[in-house]
Structure 1
Amino acid sequence: MASISLFEASLSLFCFLIIFCYFLNKKHFGYLVNKRSPWNWPVLGMLPALVLWSRRIDVLIRVLEKSNLTFLFKGPWFARMDALITVDPANIHHILSSNFSNYIKGPEFKEIVDVFGDPLFTADGDLWKNIKMSSQVILSRQGFQNLSMSVATSKIKDVLLPIFSRFSEEGTVVDLQDVFRRFMFDISLVLVSGSDPQSLSIEMPEVELAEAFEDAGEAIVSRLIIPRFLWKLQNRLGLGKEKKLIEAGATFDRVCAKYIAAKREEIRSQGIHHHDHDGECEDFLTYYIKLDTSKYELLDPSDDKFLRDTILAIIMAIRDTSSSALTWFFWLLSKNPHVEAKIRQEIITNLPKTATSQERPWSATDHREFLNKLVYLHGALYETMRLYPPLPFQRKTSIKSDVLPSGHIVDANSNVIFLVYALGRMRSVWGEDALEFKPERWVSETGELRHEPSSKFLVFNTGPRTCSGKHLAMTSMKTIVVEILQHYDIKLVEGHKIKPKAHLNLLMKHGLRVTLTKRCSA
């Protein structure tokens, strides 16, 4: 590890002493809130504004609105934190689609999230192509899609609804955010390893792997806000959030090694060394351990680190995104009862007779057709993610210099940040009602789902890096929503404060505390 000079350590201490004193002064704090653009301080750059934005995203939104959706952030001197921040759909399309080859995740981003290794979301070049193509194969298999739906529905009926019933009968206050994160964590582990950690139960037990993800996420957000040399120093000394990140990495290594060893032994005992043609009921670990490497030269199934990184990536992809969307969705429903009423009516109207008939069980085809008819629900989920995107930002690094459609010049080896959270709130992008929760904006005059450019609705990314699991994610979330709304009324605890939390994915700082009431018709 590179040595850290006394000058760098002294400079970091000096910077943070100034910031601390600065934010104690309420007059200056108020000025920053109302200022049209952030100050570029000597030595500090715009770091004081960044600290404020991490707590007051509305201030940054105002800056972007008054900067024609793009402006250059200047970090502290020598801290390598300069970045072009943009929410301009034309710029986003250019970077992520038209000139995709010129923009990569880059070594700095990989260093920031190094605890996760080299999964799909940090890989570049041919390695990324290999991981992307191999993941698309398993996600597109009907067998895996059936497995995904089977796991979700059984978890709903055998675990989620019985727990809700218990909480409803006892009048217990429930943190829905915690429930959804545990629910999706269990599903992700089943799909990746075939093993159910059963973190969702009446006891709500602590699960060390899930806790490690929380600690790692908080530490990485801290790395994004403070100068690189400071978190490097903390990591070297094992202090603060960096200490928890180191411990999280050790937990990732140990727990994943256990799952990998168990899966290898399972495959050996079955005497199977190749893929089934239909790929039925094949989890991710099984798929990758038996992967035909002649098709993916840069992937090595014999390398436990590759499998470890894959496990972590899949958990994040399944748990963090869907649980975040569902949490914000049910909060928005509690604030908009007319939307909830329309969704309930849509469910009742389109529910097939076979769903309640004893003559013939409800088939998978019936289920898919039913979900496809729930256009308003689909729009409500999209509208939730527009306002509260599970992944609130993206970061890219340029290889060569470039000129964006907005006219801004991007130098070689420069960072560009897309603030997805702010993008969904731009009046110039979404209209004067951009801050309103209106599922109707996603429904066409003919009652079909309205299409919006993915560079404008960036929740599932755009261009070559578009999310391969988009369809499965929407199917899973719609299934969960339907089951809950059919059986329960959800009421927000009076006085409970809802506030976003700085994290890799968009969380509620204080959770979503609600009470549950069983519906008479259920």
Structure 2
Amino acid sequence: MEAPMQQHPQLQSSLSAFFFCFAASFFLFSLLLMLLRSRPWCACDVCRAYMTSSWADGGRFRNLGDWYTHLLRNSPTRTVHIHVLGNTITSDPANVEHMLKTRFDNYPKGKPFSSILGDLLGRGIFAADGDSWCFQRKMASLELGSVSVRSYAFDIVSAVLRRRLLPLLSTVAGAGCCDSVLDLQDLFRRFSFDTICKISFGIDLGCLELGRPLSKFAEAFDEASRLSAARALSVWPLVWKVKRLLNIGSERELRRAVRLIDELSQEVIKQRREAGTATSGHDLLSRFLASTNDERYLRDIVISFLLAGRDTVASGLTTFFLLLSKYPEVEAKIVEEIKQASAGGDVREKGSGDIVGEVATERSDGDGEVASYAQLGEMHYVHAALYESMRLYPPVQFDSRFAVEDDVLPDGTFVRRGTRLTYHTYAMGRMEELWGADCNEFRPERWLNGDGAFVPQSPFRYPVFHAGSRICLGKELALMEMKTVVVTVLRRFRVEVLDQGRPPKFASGLTATVAGGLRVRFRMR
């Protein structure tokens, strides 16, 4: 006996047409609803300039961040709205404190953030909210705050400097020809990738050998970061979501990069498990392996460590040396402080104590090439110069949250439920009311008191390391690594930046990356 549908082909055809029309109608209705919410047709001057990229016309603004800074400076409340993005941007420290502390629960990362970066970051600490974030934060805090981890990390950084970076720079500085020109940004990205992989996973990728291409891990991570960041800048999220659904274009490239990252992460985890307690235990991943068997969770931890420890350090160091090339008087003061600390003379009593932190033992490589932990703690001017550099060029230029409920900011701005609220760290470092009339100048002295001791500012005024409950747990490790590199390099070399007259242009990404790199030449002192 034939099936009912086979007996009535006309009925089958009608039902198929009905379901198709229903699905198409639902899709169109959802699209219309999304368009009404996102207001992609907004004709205000700000949105028109963003949509057409006319903000870049005439070369007045080299970067989107410079244009945002201009808008915020001219806003009475230091808050602006980009309607086509559904984004409210602020540079008011009171708003930042409200967002990250006072109403912290109302401003999670949110589902839109997870949708944009979830393919790369997964459930890692940078994308998580709620109980998952609390658990990861507690675990990471216990590990990153321990003296043993800081001591282990310092040993790794010192070893990579002494055994790889210094010999390489000595060779390049002695070449004395066009071959001595290096891309400083590439150099620091390789260096920080080597150190973070050793500190976090106990593996040595050997990226700091310039004759070798970057590892597949590093290349895939760069590609995935760039493509994920492009999603956040899109006025039409539906476009990349459809591309992801159909697996075409940039979304296909992103999926390929993430797949490679997943495979390599699994291999890293497998190696650490197989190594067992005989060779494991010091690196951060081994410590987390003892607390969970969730492979996907461990993969997300691997990615979080890479994002936190590689690109941010490389970005901070690159722009530091860029600024230093324009302010030789600052370089001279740094070199003098390095000499005084290295001489081992009497150190003045300073109110802030050892700003690097306490370590159980004072470590040194024995040959004077790399400063000891104690010596780094004496260098308050170097510390201030790093903070000043990141005020002007923060490695992460802005950060966003999504409002759970309607809210009103301290400056009176109404924030509708679902709105993306962004605090713009790059712009905040250029606000005259926060840093004075010389806010565009590189002046480390603004961070020192009358005795020459470093004095920190409120993290809501200087959210380079974020603030509130989500303040960066790896802050001290990052500062230690950057400070060690700066002191070690400047003790032996002069760094000449080529084409230093042009302000940097940043490529789109999760962290600030100088487009085209930074060409430099090293000279022996």
Instruction: Give the alignment's TM-score, normalised by structure 1.
Output: 0.83
Distance 2:137 2:54 in 1: 33
Pairwise CA distance, 1:290: 0.7
Shift of 1:57: 3.0
Q: For the Cα contact (< 8 Å) 2:62–2:505, is it kept in 1?
A: no
1:413 Cα offset (Å) = 2.4
Of 188, 192, 195, the match for 1:180: 188
Structure 1 residues 56 and 289, CA gap change in structure 2 (3 angstroms): closer
Over residues 41-76 of structure 1, what are the superposed CA-to-partner deviations in whole Å (9 max), with x where a residue is unaligned?
Answer: 6xxx9533698589443222111111121022201x
Q: CA deviation at 1:429?
A: 2.1
Q: What is the Cα deviation at residue 397 of structure 1?
A: 1.1
Give secondary structure in 2 for the equivalent of 1:351.
helix
CA change 1:49–1:60 in 2 (3 A) is farther
- 2:273 equivalent among 260, 264, 270: 264
Partner of 1:217: 225
Distance 1:89 1:74 in 2: 22
Matched, 1:282 2:282: yes
> How far apart, CA to CA, are the structure 2 residues paired with 1:136 and 1:495?
40
Partner of 2:45: 38
Distance 1:516 1:10, change over 3 A: farther
Indicate the residue corresponding to 1:23 in structure 2: none
Matches within 5 A, 1:193-232: 193-226=201-234, 227-232=236-241
Structure 1 position 404 matched with structure 2 position 413: no
Alignment equivalent of 1:237, drawn from 237, 241, 246: 246
Task: Give, in whole Å, the separation in 2 of the partners of 1:361 and 1:178.
Answer: 29
User: Which structure's CA Rg is the greater one?
Assistant: 2
After superposition, the CA RMSD in angstroms is 3.0
Which secondary structure does the structure 1 equivalent of 2:239 belong to? helix
Offset at residue 457 of structure 1 (A): 0.5
Structure 1's unaligned 5+ residue stretches are: 13-17, 20-31, 76-80, 273-280, 292-300
1:511 aligns with 2:517: yes
**Is the Cα contact below 8 Å between 1:461 and 1:467 reproduced in 2?**
yes
- In structure 2, the CA distance between the partners of 1:352 and 1:362, relative to structure 1 (3 Å rule), is farther
Q: 2:314 aligns with which of 293, 314, 323?
A: 323
Whole-Å Cα distance in 2 between the matches of residues 147 and 133 of structure 1?
20
2:258 & 2:472 partners in 1: Cα distance?
A: 26
- For residues 40 and 214 of structure 1, what CA distance do their matches in structure 2 show? 30
Establish whether residue 374 from structure 1 lines up as the match of residue 374 from structure 2.
Answer: no
What is the CA–CA distance in structure 2 between the aligned matches of 1:56 and 1:111, rounded to whole Å?
A: 23
Query: What are the Cα deviations for residues 100-134 of structure 1, in whole angstroms up to 9, with x where unaligned?
Result: 12110001001100122011111111111110110
Q: Distance in 2 between matches of 1:50 and 1:133?
A: 45
Percent of residue pairs identical: 32
- 2:264 partner amino acid: V
Once the 2 structures are TM-superposed, how far is the Cα of residue 516 of structure 1 from its aligned partner? 0.9
Aligned-partner SS, 1:113: helix
5 Å-filtered alignment, 1:289-438, equals 289-291=289-291, 301-353=292-344, 361=366, 367-438=372-443
- Deviation string for 1:434-454 (max 9, x for gaps)? 111111111111211122110
Contact kept, 8 Å, 2:116 with 2:231, in 1: the verdict is: yes
Q: Deviations over 1:5-29 (max 9, x none)?
A: 57999999xxxxx99xxxxxxxxxx
Distance 1:184 1:382 in 2: 19
- CA pair 197-476 structure 1, distance change in 2 beyond 3 A: same
Among candidates 439, 451, 469, match of residue 464 of structure 1 = 469
Q: CA deviation at 1:237?
A: 3.0
Q: Residue by residue, what CA displacement relative to the aligned partner does 1:372-410 show, whole Å, maximum 9, x if unpaired?
A: 221111111001100100011101011222211101111
Give the aligned partner of residue 67 of structure 2. Answer: 59
Deviates more, 1:313-322 or 1:470-479: 470-479
Amino acid of the residue matched to residue 471 of structure 2? T
Q: Which amino acid aligns with 1:264?
A: R
Bigger Cα displacement from structure 2, 421-430 vs 146-155: 421-430
- Corresponding residue for 1:87? 91
* Cα distance, 1:311–1:131 mapped onto 2, change above 3 Å: same
Moved more, 46-55 or 342-351: 46-55
| Separation in 2, partners of 1:403, 1:9 | 29
Q: Map residues 439-458 of structure 1 onto 2, 5 A cutoff.
A: 439-458=444-463
Deviates more, 1:49-58 or 1:142-151: 49-58
Alignment match, 2:12:
none
Contact 2:403 2:415 (C-alpha < 8 Å) held by counterparts: yes
Structure 1 residue 424, shift from structure 2 partner: 0.8
Give the C-alpha shift of residue 495 in structure 1. Answer: 6.8
Q: Between Structure 1 and Structure 2, how many residues are aligned?
A: 467
Q: 1:179 to 1:8 in 2, by over 3 A?
A: farther
1:474 counterpart = 2:483: no
1:484 equivalent to 2:489? Answer yes
**Residue 140 and residue 245 in structure 1: after superposition, are their counterparts in 2 closer, same or farther (change >3 A)?**
same
Task: Describe the shift of the 1:414–1:348 C-alpha distance in structure 2 as closer, same or farther (beyond 3 A).
Answer: same
**Aligned pair partner of 1:169 in 170, 174, 195:** 174
CA distance in 2, matches of 1:152, 1:481: 12
Is the contact between residue 63 and residue 505 of structure 2 (CA under 8 Å) also seen in structure 1?
Answer: no
Q: Pick from 498, 502, 507: which aligns with 2:508? A: 502
Structure 2 unaligned residues grouped into runs of 5+: 1-22, 35-39, 346-363
Distance 1:168 1:430, change over 3 A: same
Residue 350 of structure 2 is matched in structure 1 by none
- Give the letter for the 2:156 counterpart: V
The residue type paired with residue 331 of structure 1 is L
Q: Which residue of 2 aligns with 1:47?
A: 51
